[in-house]
Amino acid sequence: MVIVMSSHATEADVTVITQHVESLGLQAHPIIGVERIVIGVIGDERLIQKDQLSLLPHVETVIPILKPYKLASREFKPNDSVIDVAGVRVGGKEIVTIAGPCSVETEEQLLATATAVKQAGAKLLRGGAYKPRTSPYAFQGLGEDGLKLLMKAKEQTGLGIVTEVMETADVELVAEYADLLQVGARNMQNTRLLRSLGKVKKPILLKRNFSATLNEFLMSAEYILSAGNNNVILCERGIRTFVEYTRNTLDLNVIPAVKQLSHLPIIVDPSHGTGRHDFVLPLSRAAIAAGADGLIIEVHPDPAKAFSDGEQSLTLEAFQSLMNEVSVISKAMGRQ
């Protein structure tokens, strides 16, 4: 932590600050510059609040040096984490594709999709039983009936299940059915939910909120990790910008950023990230080329009749074709 004093601060003002810093159990090293005095602070800055220093008299700003997350950082764990999801390893050499409908609608729809995505090479099945919709008048999901249909699809195809959990009260129930519990973008900072997921014995798929900085994204992972669950997979699904040709702006820059700062795997959701079925293929390729560990893609037997997000869903045929095209890029990246 570095404390920058305001330009008119005297050495007496600096003494007040250094004494305060030392009273907090940290060490203070003032450096007298030409235009400013700065004070280097030694000790674990995570233990104190930035505010409590920045509001002291004659302090201009306080600049943190250490990252606010610890367990999620690559410094804490230098090697890549590989997360086991129902026998599928995410974060290793293999590119893992999760596919399925936005919402579980009917048995027929789900089984047809599950069978087709499995055949095309998907390793896990996604499907929403609890749906956080913008409109109260829109389809809100089948709830537990949806979870039961997912279980049936699992029995039939062998694909592990990825599904969203929307609140703490549902965690236990969803964890009975799901192999990977998804935290949706709107819940990325639902800290109560995050902590309850820290106590679950299933891995978690944490989607980035539309306006989350990388610090905030990794701090949400830190909530889960610090509560006892080490199995977190990150997912980029688009940020909110001024751009008008996509529903969100899929931010592939986050992939090398995560790889540098964290050991956690990261996958990409080009369906929600762009909101457009015709952009899913180019952005899937780009995600893999940027270093993502996998994809999560919306697929529906008849997108024009989907209960939700049809605009961004691939048909079964389009998904098969995407898997072929993407595998060429995966190989070019030295992955499978």
The answer to whether residue 54 forms part of the interface with a copy of itself (CB under 8 A) is yes
- Burial label, 169 (beta-carbon count in 10 A; 0-12, 13-18, 19+): exposed
Window 262 to 291, contacts with a copy of itself (CB under 8 A) = 274, 277-279, 282-283, 285-291
| Contact range with a copy of itself by CB under 8 A, out of 9-17, 50-58, 172-180, 229-237 | 50-58
Determine how many CB atoms are found less than 10 A away from the CB of residue 285. 19
Q: Tell me the C-alpha distance between 249 and 160, whole Å.
A: 29
By CB under 8 A, tell whether 23 contacts a copy of itself.
no
Binding status of residue 121 toward a copy of itself by CB under 8 A: no
CB of 285 vs a copy of itself, minimal distance in Å: 4
Instruction: Please give the C-alpha separations between residue 59 and each of 12, 17, 41, 64, 67, in angstroms, as whole numbers.
Output: 13, 8, 14, 14, 22
Question: To the nearest whole angstrom, how small is the minimum distance from the Cβ of residue 240 to a copy of itself?
Answer: 4
# binding residues, a copy of itself (CB under 8 A)? 106
- Per-residue burial over 294-315, b if 16 or more Cβ lie within 10 Å, else e, is bbbbbbbbebeebbbbbbbbbb
Which residue from 38, 82, 151, 175 is in contact with a copy of itself, where contact means CB under 8 A? Answer: 38
Binding to a copy of itself in span 216-235, by CB under 8 A: 216, 219, 222-223, 226-227
Question: Can residue 249 be called a binding residue for a copy of itself (CB under 8 A)?
Answer: yes
Cβ contact 83:90 at 8 Å: yes
Binding segment for a copy of itself among 29-37, 80-88, 116-124, 175-183 (CB under 8 A)?
A: 29-37
Among 167, 172, 176, 317, binds a copy of itself (CB under 8 A): 167
Which of 157, 303, 316, 322 binds a copy of itself (CB under 8 A)? It is 303
Alpha-carbon dihedral sign for residues 187, 189, 192, 198: positive
Verify binding: residue 199, a copy of itself, rule CB under 8 A: no
Amino acid residing at 162: V
Binds a copy of itself (CB under 8 A): choice among 81, 97, 109, 190: 190
Least Cβ distance, residue 312 to a copy of itself (angstroms): 9
CB of 130 to a copy of itself, least distance (A): 8
Closer CB to a copy of itself, 114 or 239, in the complex = 239
The one among 18, 115, 230, 246 contacting a copy of itself by CB under 8 A? 246
Beta strand segments in the chain, E = 2-5, 27-32, 37-42, 59-63, 83-85, 88-90, 96-100, 124-126, 160-164, 180-183, 204-207, 232-236, 266-268, 294-298
Pairing of strands 124-126, 96-100: parallel
Comparing CA positions, the residue from 250, 300, 293 lying closest to residue 109 is 300
Give, in degrees to the nearest 5, the angle at Cα 99 between 128 and 267.
Answer: 100
User: Measured from the CB of residue 328, what is the shortest distance to a copy of itself in angstroms?
Assistant: 5
Among 19, 324, 328, 336, binds a copy of itself (CB under 8 A): 328
Closer residue to a copy of itself, CB minimum distance, 146 or 160: 146
